[in-house]
Amino acid sequence: MFRFLPAALALTGLFLASGCLTESAEFRNLAAAVTDAQGQEGSDQESSRRRPGHQPLADIAAPEDTPDRTRTEAAWTLSDAFAEVARVATPGVVSLLVERESTRGSEDPRLEQFFGFPPVPSPPGAQVGRGSGAIVDPSGLVVTNNHVVDGATRIEVEFSDGRTLEAVIVGQDPPTDLAVIRLESDGEVFPHLALGNSDEVRVGDWVLAIGNPLGNSHSVTAGIVSAKGRVLQGDYQDFIQTDAAINRGNSGGPLVGLDGSLVGVNTMIQVAGTPGNIGLGFAIPSNLVRRVYDDLASEGQVTRGWLGVAVVPLDAQRALAFGLEADARGAQIDDFSGPDSPAAAAGLERGDVIVRFNGRPIEDSMDLQFAVADARPEEPSTVQVLRDGVEVSVDVVLGQRDFRQAAPLAEAAPPEPERPVESTGRLGIVGETLQGALAQQFQADFEGVLVRQVVPGGIAHQAGIEPGHVITRVGGRPVRTAGDLRDALSGIAGGEPLPIQIARQVAAGEWRRNFVIVEAPE
């Protein structure tokens, strides 16, 4: 077995073992000399490893081979543009520190809804959140997200120079997730951002997101407009999609164009798996902000018209089924919200296709939603519809939509079915006439054919008709009995698109109607 020992100890062992030397003064001097020499050699090596020779950085010449500026000029120009926009816009952006009261075990769903973080129980007492905002009025009015300030007991605003002020809520609009707050100051004039025209923003345009991500105040990220007109959840959505990095704390901050104007209010991101930015950010367009801002700043809430209809997209099959051209556009009335619906009271009918509202062209349900929202309640509006292929003008007085009242979401289970007594083989259902005691049992104040059974794979099954639905119209013919249904089907050529109106029960005594499009049976 070999062992490595320090040289001085090996020498001592050798001399003592051989008897050549005794442990005299001469021996000790020799051993000490060897040890000193070895120690000096190790010290020099260690010093060499720790302190290599070097030149001061200031004395080192730059490499001769550097990028050709003529080939990178475009990138330098873009970099200069980003820096200039950030310089101009950043003073008009504020970071928000928001305090709200929480109860033991309460969870904040905003984290999951807007940024993909699962809600976690919070301790009782003050809960602190962060967000961003954009000053849009030099007197100190700030636009931000409603989910940032909702329920706030205190709002502290930080400017780009580190100064702080308190702020108070002026108005909130949950449907658009927008809010306006006011900086508390004594007549100070603040730097602000102009609202740009989001309709003019193009897919591919460069934009900057400025905000307070994860508490990193006044951070600037760059990206492009990835898409427009995104609808993710809820009403009144027309998001601008961007790949500029947006994270928790960016909510309420501006999406800025290269002209320095606010073209969007950053609101949420989409995530996949791990929460955090993956290049899918969404901002409320500035033109929607403009429509909401004035009401919030002056009234504290947004007053919207209410037509009281449920509408469906008009695709080619549905258009042909209702006797229209395949490329017809509009929003088709599928049902009314109830007997007090302004649309029903004005004489609009299920199946009508709304093509203009107060002169504004309507190509889809979103167009109609914004057109109605912009109209004032209790004032007459003019609606142009296509009915049986003919354009009809109807005057309607809008109601006011109350967002605090939610529509019923759960469907009520229908009573136990009785023995079917009628059948319509062409459609693939078994049903019976809904009238008398049966209508009372189902709390239905209308007539039709109650669907008892649906043949798997049949035409009705493919169209989504289910047991418990009630057929009330086929094509342009009302259906009150099973005989009416058979007669209506017998007069239609096979293979043609056929609209069938059905009613479905959503709560006790409450029914919703809509059209389904089927291919007329042979």
- Does 501 reside within a domain? yes
CA dihedral 391→394→400→405, nearest 10 degrees, is -60
Q: Is residue 341 part of a domain?
A: yes
Residue 7 forms part of a structural domain? no
Q: Tokens representing 107?
A: 């969870």
Element (H, E) at 10: helix 7-18
Q: Between vectors from CA 237 to CA 464 and to CA 361, what angle results, nearest 5°?
A: 80
- Say if residue 423 is exposed, middle or buried (CB neighbours under 10 Å; 0-12, 13-18, 19+): middle
* Residue 191 near residue 179 (C-beta atoms within 8 A): no
CATH number for the domain harbouring residue 176: 2.40.10.120
Q: Do the beta carbons of residue 114 and residue 146 sit within 8 Å?
A: no
Lowest mean pLDDT among 202-206, 371-375, 458-462: 458-462
Contact 210, 256 (CB under 8 A): yes
3-state secondary structure of 79: helix
Residues 348 and 335 in one domain: yes
Instruction: Write the DSSP symbol of residue 214.
Output: G
The Cβ-side half-sphere exposure at 123, using a 13 Å CA radius, reads 3
Work out the percent of the chain whose per-residue pLDDT is above 70: 77
What is the 8-class DSSP label of residue 494?
T
The answer as to whether 378 is a domain residue is yes
Question: Looking at residue 469, which CATH number applies to its domain?
Answer: 2.30.42.10
Do 171 and 284 reside in the same domain of the chain? yes
**Residue pointed to by tokens 């209010």:** 265
Higher pLDDT, 273 or 193: 193
Please say which residue of 276, 302, 328 terminates a domain.
Answer: 302
Residue 385 contacts residue 348 (beta carbons within 8 Å) = yes
For residue 310, being part of any structural domain is answered with yes
Q: How far is CA 383 from CA 17, 101, 395, in A?
A: 118, 46, 6
Rounded-to-integer distance, Cα 207 and Cα 445, Å: 56
Q: What is the chain's percent helix, strand, coil content, to nearest 5?
A: 25, 35, 40
Whether 156 has a pLDDT exceeding 80, the answer reads: yes
Residue numbers of the domain that contains 391: 305-400
Confidence of residue 40 (pLDDT cuts 50, 70, 90): low
Q: Are 236 and 373 in contact (CB under 8 A)?
A: yes
Residues 212 and 133 in one domain: yes
In terms of average pLDDT, the best of 41-50, 188-197, 312-321, 367-376 is 188-197
User: Which structure tokens are listed for 152?
Assistant: 């706030």
Average pLDDT over every residue of 372-397: 91
Residue 198 in tokens: 């989001």
Question: Are 432 and 382 in the same domain?
Answer: no
Under a CB-based contact definition with an 8 Å cutoff, are residues 239 and 232 in contact? yes
pLDDT at 377 over 80: yes
Last-in-domain residue among 368, 400, 432: 400
Percent with pLDDT over 90 in the chain: 39
Contact criterion met (CB below 8 Å) for 15 and 21? yes
The residue type found at 143 is: V
* CB burial string 163-185: b at 16+ within 10 A, e below: eebebebbbbbbbbbbbbbbbee
Kindly state whether residues 447 and 393 are assigned to the same domain: no
Q: Are 354 and 362 in contact (CB under 8 A)?
A: yes
- At 85 the pLDDT is 97
- Do 188 and 266 lie in one domain? The reply is yes
293 within domain boundaries:
yes
Query: How far, in whole angstroms, is CA 77 from its chain's centroid?
Result: 33
Residue 106 binned pLDDT confidence (cut-offs 50, 70, 90)? very low
Both 167 and 265 in one domain: the answer is: yes
459 CB-near residues (< 8 Å, 6+ apart): 426, 427, 428, 518, 519, 521
- Which has more confidence, 518 or 251? 251
Would you name the residues annotated as active-site residues? Answer: 147, 177, 251
- CB atoms closer than 10 angstroms to residue 492: 15
Pairing outcome for strands 239-242 and 281-285: antiparallel
Clarify whether residues 263 and 324 are in a common domain.
no
Q: Are residues 169 and 294 in the same domain?
A: yes
Condensed to tens digits (0 to 9), the pLDDT of residues 187-237 reads: 899 999 999 999 999 999 999 999 999 999 999 999 999 999 887 766 667
The reply to whether 120 falls in a domain is: no
Q: Which of 459, 453, 446, 457 is nearest to 500 (CA)?
A: 459
Q: Are residues 258 and 292 in the same domain?
A: yes
Q: Report yes or no: 474 and 500 within 8 Å, Cβ to Cβ.
A: yes
Q: What are phi and psi of 444, to 5 degrees?
A: -110, 130
Average pLDDT of the chain?
Answer: 81
Tell me the CA end-to-end span of the chain in Å, nearest whole number. Answer: 99
Element (H, E) at 316: helix 316-321
Alpha carbon dihedral 86, 87, 88, 94, in 10-degree steps, equals: 70
Cβ neighbours for 144, distance < 8 A, ≥ 6 positions apart: 96, 131, 132, 133, 134, 178, 179, 180, 181, 251, 252, 253, 265
Do 145 and 278 lie in one domain? The reply is yes
- Provide the 8-state DSSP code for 215: G
- Tokens matching residue 489: 């089907």
Same domain, 289 and 315: no
Residue 23 above 80 pLDDT?
A: no
Highest mean pLDDT among 18-32, 197-211, 365-379: 197-211
Residue 8 above 50 pLDDT?
Answer: no
Q: Which of 302, 322, 344 is at the close of a domain? A: 302
3-class secondary structure, 47 = helix
The total number of structural domains in the chain stands at 3
60-64, 103-107, 165-169: least confidently modelled range = 103-107
- Is residue 155 in some structural domain? yes
